[in-house]
């Protein structure tokens, strides 16, 4: 599939900030504005949410907006990108735990509107579970705003290098770089799961707006490749070059090579 694409002229220049704090505040503001706009229209705001270090300050700012500036999340429906497989949701390395700790416990989102892939399905139930996750997203009319980080291997969600641009929610094998980067959370490599459920690249690029947030020097090489390199399934984020609804939000360190 990579042969069908060539380098694409970026449709919109990256939005640059002098530091991670400013980039995160900007991102949180975009999310808050969407929520308020949808409230005015009496509609749900369907958010695609990410985990990892990158969105933590965004979530902190959203919590502040809720606690001190009256931002309500009552109309928010959320779908998380991914979850390790297998992992119990009570495990403190699970993304369910992460989302509760970093956002959901502190805001007024309705529990019934929260969706994080659950990975307690048995292997023979996974395919149906993934189809149902896709159907739920479609049932809400798709994702209004997808927040993305990027892995050092170019993954978005857990769509690892080699993932088809047509992929939808499914069980995936984790790449060695992804597993290495997860050691800080799990303690040792042998504790890091080998698999995960991830929404697909096709699912992601259907979102009406996509904010790809990249912070820090360690993302500078892959951000340059994703933005300026060839479009290739070896760098899953590179497909975003062709998407008019994508905005890259970068701090100076992540933008160093672009």
User: Which residue among 46, 137, 150, 226 contacts ligand PGA (CB under 6 A)?
Assistant: 150
Give me the helix-helix angle, 95-102 and 56-69, nearest 10°. 40
Choose which of 54, 119, 146, 220 interacts with ligand PGA (CB under 6 A). 54
Collapse the DSSP code of 88 into the 3-class scheme (helix H, G, I; strand E, B; otherwise coil) and give the result.
Answer: coil
Residue environment code for 121-130, b if the CB has 16+ CB neighbours within 10 A, otherwise e: beeeebeebb
* CB 89 to ligand PGA: min, Å: 20
Nearest CB to ligand PGA, comparing residues 54 and 119: 54
Per CB under 6 A, the segment of 11-19, 31-39, 64-72, 149-157 that binds ligand PGA is 149-157
Cβ at position 93, least distance to ligand PGA in Å: 13
Identify the active-site residue in 160, 175, 225, 251: 160
The reply to whether 155 belongs to the active site is yes
- The verdict on whether 82 is a catalytic residue reads yes
Does residue 220 belong to the site contacting ligand PGA (CB under 6 A)? no
Q: Of 58 and 231, which has the nearer Cβ to ligand PGA?
A: 58
Do the bridges between strand 195-198 and strand 82-85 make them parallel or antiparallel, or are there none, so unpaired?
antiparallel
For residue 113, indicate whether it is catalytic.
Answer: no
Q: Taking the CA atoms of 196, 202, 205 and 207 in sequence, report the sign of the dihedral they define.
A: negative
* Cβ count within 10 A of residue 18: 10
- Out of 149, 154, 200, 236, name the contact with ligand PGA by CB under 6 A: 149
Active site includes 160? yes
Q: CA 90 to CA 8: how far, in whole Å?
A: 43
Q: What angle do CA 152, 153, 155 make, to 5 degrees?
A: 100
Among the listed ranges 52-60, 108-116, 195-203, 225-233, the one in contact with ligand PGA (CB under 6 A) is: 52-60
Q: Are the C-beta atoms of residues 152 and 181 closer than 8 Å to each other?
A: yes
Binding site for ligand PGA (CB under 6 A): 52-54, 149-151
């Amino acid at each position: 599939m990579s042969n069908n694409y060539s380098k694409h002229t970026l449709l919109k220049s990256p939005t640059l900030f002098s530091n991670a704090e400013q980039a995160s505040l900007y991102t949180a503001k975009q999310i808050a504005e969407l929520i308020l706009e949808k409230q005015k229209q009496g509609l749900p705001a369907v958010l695609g949410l990410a985990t990892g270090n990158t969105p933590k300050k965004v979530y902190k700012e959203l919590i502040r907006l809720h606690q001190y500036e009256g931002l309500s999340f009552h109309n928010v429906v959320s779908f998380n990108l991914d979850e390790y497989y297998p992992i119990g949701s009570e495990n403190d390395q699970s993304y369910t735990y992460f989302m509760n700790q970093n956002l959901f416990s502190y805001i007024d989102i309705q529990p019934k509107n929260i969706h994080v892939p659950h990975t307690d399905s048995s292997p023979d139930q996974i395919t149906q579970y993934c189809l149902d996750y896709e159907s739920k997203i479609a049932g809400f009319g798709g994702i209004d705003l997808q927040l993305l980080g990027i892995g050092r291997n170019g993954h978005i969600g857990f769509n690892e290098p080699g993932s088809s641009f047509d992929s939808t929610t499914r069980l995936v094998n984790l790449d060695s770089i992804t597993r290495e980067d997860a050691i800080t959370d799990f303690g040792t490599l042998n504790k890091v799961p080998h698999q995960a459920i991830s929404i697909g690249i096709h699912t992601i690029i259907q979102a009406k707006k996509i904010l790809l947030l990249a912070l820090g020097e360690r993302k500078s090489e892959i951000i340059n490749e994703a933005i300026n390199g060839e479009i290739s399934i070896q760098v899953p984020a590179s497909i975003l070059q062709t998407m008019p609804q994508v905005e890259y939000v970068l701090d100076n360190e992540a933008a160093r090579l672009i």
